[in-house]
Chain A
Amino acid sequence: MNTLKIMLALGLLCLSSASVQAVEIRDHHKEVIGKDCKACHDQGIKQFPSDQACQQCHDVDELAETTARSEEDKWQNPHNNLHYGKELPCQECHGEHKAKKPICSDCHTFKYDKHKE
């Protein structure tokens, strides 16, 4: 029984340290969020953040400008793309606790060099 408790404790420790590390992926998040998980997890810690959570700080129009491409490739803008316009929820391509690929790569070979998973 004791062994089980220790194993559980170790397991929890691993889990918590993993998520703290994950939050550190983006420096600007580290500065703003710190260790306040609720800053993003607005629907409870065990639930994914709402699709609006990221927009407390990030503005879709600004993001779309930042990632704009030339006229010929204008619809490859992940924040204003051909298929879903500006409506693609952030979590389709970005995750703080796990690596994600851009949804475009399901069908296309576009390069997004600055994409942070």
Chain B
Amino acid sequence: MSNVDLLGRRKFIAGLGVAAGAAMVAPAMAVSEKADGVKWDKEIEIVIIGSGFAGLAAGIEATKLGAKDVHIFEKMSYFGGNSAINGGLFAAPGTPMQSKEGVNDSVDRMVADQLAAGCGIADEALLRHVAEHAMEALQMTFDAGSEYHPYLQQLGGHSVARTYQTTVSCGAGITQPLLHKCRELGVHTHNRSKFEGFLVGEKGEVLGVKMRDNYHFGEDQPGKVINIRAKRGVIMATGGFAQNVNLRMAQDPTLTSEVGCTNAPGATGEGMYEMFRLGAVPVHLAHIQSGPWASPDEGGFGYVSNYSIYNFPHSIAINRLTGQRFMDEIADRKTRADAELACRDEQGNALPPILITSYKDSKKHPNTKKVIKYNVGWKFDSVEELASHFNVPLKALKTQIEEYNQYVKSGEDKQFGKNMTKAAGKYIEAPFTVVRLWPKVHYCQGGVQINTKAEVKDSFTGVAIPGLYAAGEVCGGIHGVSRLGSCSIPECMVMGMTAARSMMKA
């Protein structure tokens, strides 16, 4: 399912068209059409495409603001999209837990951290809008019943601890309560419903959508296309395109199938490309982020990702060829992913590096037991045992551990300048736990351009396309070069809420 070949399929269909006549081709091509003369099968108030954080937050907010007939359409058979399988990490400034832990944070500070990671091309206005409303979004999850670990985390690239994480260490700890809340409020949810294109009015405004009913992802069953009139408009919350190897390689040829993917299989990008056809502005499509905390020993996000996100601050990442560290373990994601991909054997084959943590520190994370139990991580009683298991030069490794432990003591990392605050007192000593690291494509920073009202801008006129709103990963340009960990959930939810608010005011 991870090797969806949309372009390949298009080529095949095009070939078929030549042989069998264009009429056969038409139903398979997702394209927008003029709504003039179209027979509407259904008329509803608000159409939301996608059932992840952005779509669910939009559904709840629209209903709270008085919408009576809100429908969420989901392509897959199950709800939640990519949001249901990520790490469930939520960054916000000025939270109750920050006051409790005495963390000094602000909207300005969170925006400053994100601008630094964005390397000068992030959208400050959007980042500020999201940070200003992040607490409201967090409150929406509290109200729906989401539960969080009783501690804050400080993720790579953040200058303070500002990240909540669900008790199940997964986004499902948010999507499940939000989905139930949606239904409780009367939001209609439709699975196996694939977006097939917009239906557009005389002035280029979005009047409705074509939806394919009874759609089975990855199967050869066409389903039936129906035309849905959206009275207030359409919110596109369709996510990124990380699962579409053709499309991601078109943007960044290094993101071959050798680099795995943490996303749900449905993250294939059609919704975004359809908005481009309509005239939306493409922004930063080539900035695609790979998670440096993933493991080649399991698929998707798995168990190791959260394990290593938690453990990086007090662990060492080792190149197995040299037995030495090769990066600041809490540098931003892009820096670390590139450093890991450079770890190769003498023949140039991938040689996934290892993350070494003292068991006394790693065991505080709930995933540690599972990582060992499901053979995606290992526990060793001595450095000798560890070195021999991974074929790492023992002497070099021992020297490296001694050297690093000096940095733990002095608080200054002379090798990579790592911020040692969270490593204080946490020496690398036996017994150890170890996982292998290899980046997986995780997040597409690029997408359609939106403004702080979640309106989609037209590339030629520069003004918003009437009736069209977008929220979440399908939007681009907000984060710039690198998105900081735990900044996507607040963005998805805030922009979903914003889209609903704008739509209800329009």
Contact = CB atoms under 8 A, between A and B. Distances in A.
Interface string A62-82: 000000000010010000001
Nearest to B298: A109
B459 interface: no
Contacts of B204: none
Contact of B84 (A43, A51, A83, A92): A83
B77 A51 contact: yes
Contact of A108 (B176, B219, B221, B302): B302
B1 interface: yes
B300 interface: yes
A47 B224 CA distance: 11
Contacts of B219: 48
A88 B176 CA distance: 12
B300 A83 contact: no
Contact of B300 (A88, A91, A107): A107
Contacts of A75: 168
Interface string B35-79: 000000000000000000000000000000000000000000111
Q: How many B residues are at the interface, by size bracket?
A: 20 to 34
Q: Classify the interface of chain A: helix, strand, loop or mixed.
A: loop
Contacts of B369: 72
B299 interface: yes
B260 to A, nearest CB: 10
Interface in A86-117: 87-89, 91-92, 105-110
A48 B216 contact: yes
Contacts of A48: 216, 219, 221
A51 B79 CA distance: 14
Interface in B302-334: 302-303
Contacts of A47: 214, 221
B84 A105 contact: no
Contacts of A85: 176
Given A47-B221, A89-B77, A108 B303 contact: yes
Given A106-B299, A107-B298, A108-B303, A92 B168 contact: no
A83 B191 contact: no
B172 interface: yes
Q: Which one of B77, B85, B172 has the greatest number of beta carbons of chain A within 10 Å?
A: B77
Nearest to A72: B369
Interface residues of A, number: 21
B78 A84 contact: yes
B99 interface: no
Contacts of A91: 77, 216
Contacts of B80: 83-84
Given A43-B214, A89-B77, A92-B78, A83 B298 contact: no
B299 A82 contact: no
Contacts of A92: 77-78
Contacts of B214: 43, 47
Interface in B163-205: 168, 170, 172, 176, 191-192
A51 B445 CA distance: 35
B78 A107 contact: no
Nearest to A81: B172
Contacts of B376: 109
Interface string A11-52: 000000000000000000000000000000001000110010
A70 B214 CA distance: 36
B374 interface: yes
Interface in B350-383: 369, 374-376
A12 B300 CA distance: 39
A103 to B, nearest CB: 8
Nearest to A98: B219
B476 interface: no
B302 A107 contact: yes
B176 A107 contact: no
Sort A-B residue pairs by CB-CB distance and give the 7 closest, nearest first. A107-B300, A89-B77, A83-B172, A109-B374, A107-B299, A83-B84, A84-B78
Given A48-B216, A51-B192, A83-B80, 15 more contacts: A51-B191, A82-B170, A83-B84, A83-B172, A84-B79, A84-B80, A84-B172, A85-B176, A88-B78, A107-B302, A108-B302, A108-B303, A109-B297, A109-B374, A109-B376
Interface of A: 43, 47-48, 51, 72, 75, 82-85, 87-89, 91-92, 105-110
